Structure 1
Amino acid sequence: MIRKLYDVIVVGAGSMGMSAGYELARRGFKTLLIDAFDPPHPLGSHHGEPRLIRHAYGGGAAYVKMALRADKRWLELEEATGEKLLERSGVLNIADPDVYSYEGRFEDAAVHGVSIESLDAQQIHERWSGVRLPDHFRAMYEPNAGYLYSEKCVAAYKKVALQAGATLLTHTFVTNIKPEKSYVTVSTKDDEFMAAKVILSAGAWFKTLEPFVHLPIRAVRKVVGWFEPSGKSFDAGAFPGFTFGNASGGYYGFPSIGGAGVKIGRHDTGVEWRPGEELEPFGTYPEDEDDLRRVLESFLPGAAGKLLRSAVCKYEFTPDDNFIIDTHPEFSSVLLAGGFSGHGFKFSSVVGEMLADQVELGKWGQDVGLFSARRFAQEDN
């Protein structure tokens, strides 16, 4: 077995890992990316185009600042690759105010210069006639938000990472991680690799890295469906991305892009999944389609046509739905990026930058107080 030496090894080359790999390689670090599959692929959390990107974000100022920086980095990736990755469709966030309020977001948006509008049910219907809401519903509309083509984003980062000199090892499972005094050894079935720093960004597969690292990340099976709309009012360019929340749950969706149908998914609930288990196909449970169709029939009736396509993916929830971006509790040479809880993709451009900053400069470049891995140990005490 031959040991190969790198400056940084990234374990898990999905959205976060591939972004970090590019950032590191372009800064001159000899970088190895290891993935159990071959990104972009349908076995993680980044497939099933697209993903929303918003800036007036729940969770406080740290998220807003990261979202704005992420947006800038996506535009830079577009320029570097010549690929169209971000569409500014606007995002309409609809809620029953008896269940959810956007007040905190309005305050953060004002502080950070994010353009938003407050709309009532009648104003929403006047602007987007296909939306049917009870009179007391309200919305926060963000005109400069939109969506990202997730698989194209990962492919774009892969392209520029390799061009910058990163090495990508695909279809390879990591079997062991062993920190030594001045380096970390990462083992696979056939080889050993050494680096001064290691980044773990394994997504739903974090449990395969135990017992080296224990994180309270719960992987959950999620489904999305594309439904045939009537007419053109739900087409991309005419209809925005959207989120929806009431007593029945939280949902998100997209206009019909290129005739694909209106995409909708449910943010909450889900069946727990563990690495190695079969990911049950769409339709295994009646609620796979029923939950999605019920929301469309109630509030976007013109988009509740036949199911055109479906997909199954994974969320990786932390107990508080906030991310984990931190150093390993015992080994400062190992960085952690995980638990993105179904709302992390939009941030992958800035998370990669943050990880590279920590490697190169010894600082994150963003406020990571919310994202400490140690917060869970504190809760247990």
Structure 2
Amino acid sequence: MKSTELPLIHLIAAARPNFMKIAPLYHVLSKADWCRVELVHTGQHYDANMSDAFFRDLDLPTPDYHLGVGGHSNIEQTAQVMLAYDRVCEETKPSWIVVVGDVNSTLACALVGVQRGIRTAHLEAGLRSGDRHMPEEINRLLTDAICDLLWTPSPDADENLRLENTDPARVERVGNIMIDTYEMMRDRIQKTLTYCRFGLNEGKYAVVTLHRPSNVDDKSRLTTIVDALETMTSFLPIVFPLHPRTKKMLERFMLFERISGITDFHFIEPLGYVEFMGLASRARLILTDSGGIQEEATYIGIPCLTLRENTERPITLTEGTNRLVDIFTLTEAVDDVLSTEPARKTPPALWDGNTAERVANSLRRNCAP
């Protein structure tokens, strides 16, 4: 049992990508002799089974606090997280709050910390898509504007903060925490042969993940995507871990039954981290609209087609395996990937599995009296 006189650090988790970002840091800080660490799960991710699976995969304990906010509109969710987390801070009085990523809970907990005078740090700071129609972009901008300490993953993030006239003393490049998670779980990932469940061969299938409203909430757009996926299966089987939102919209637009009947198309339930990375790391290509998967694909060297107009992770385009594509050229982009041998690239600087140690060292320096 650690002394209650040690600085208390809160790590905030909300949606699944957050779990993967806090896990390596939690494991480092929980072993440290200079601080105490507590996990706060806001409950923003509304599927408890999916959340629990990620905690098990990442060897995380039951959260010290579960706010139980659940799914609401962006505004209501942000407000409810603020109210619930404020009560936790009143009770526990942390020395530091660490928020990660760009979800509503990231901004909400940062606002609580700043309003209460609690030092607050943002892990994965400085990322920008330039698209202020995305709620995540607003969360990123506001979180970076108010946090005391900004930990960036890459030089482009540093440059974004410089262009916003951020005090350089607040900025520290630490690298990509997602790579720590992959390295932490590498042995288990390599032993996980998820693709064998579907009678597939390594390097002979595609993994698809789609969930963004811009792709799945419009019937015409989603129909065009389904058309392209059907064409893809004529030359490459597809495994599609189905996000609850995407499933709901496919059913609403009467597309679910059609796509379920396509030969070599495999809908599956959302996977835990280890199972998903076991599947993705042996794919021929990944098609996604997620943020983090762009980074993971770059690190493991799998071609990635991102179905978006922009990305807050441009380093995956310039130094990685990622390409932005639109729904009307998707089939041609897949053809291009399959006709070209994947280029092996060196991962970006500081994407080395040691980010959590750098973050912990930064925290320790900043906790000093």
- Give your verdict on TM over 0.5: no
TM-score (norm 2): 0.35
Say which structure is richer in helix: 2
TM-score (norm 1): 0.34
Say which structure is richer in strand: 1
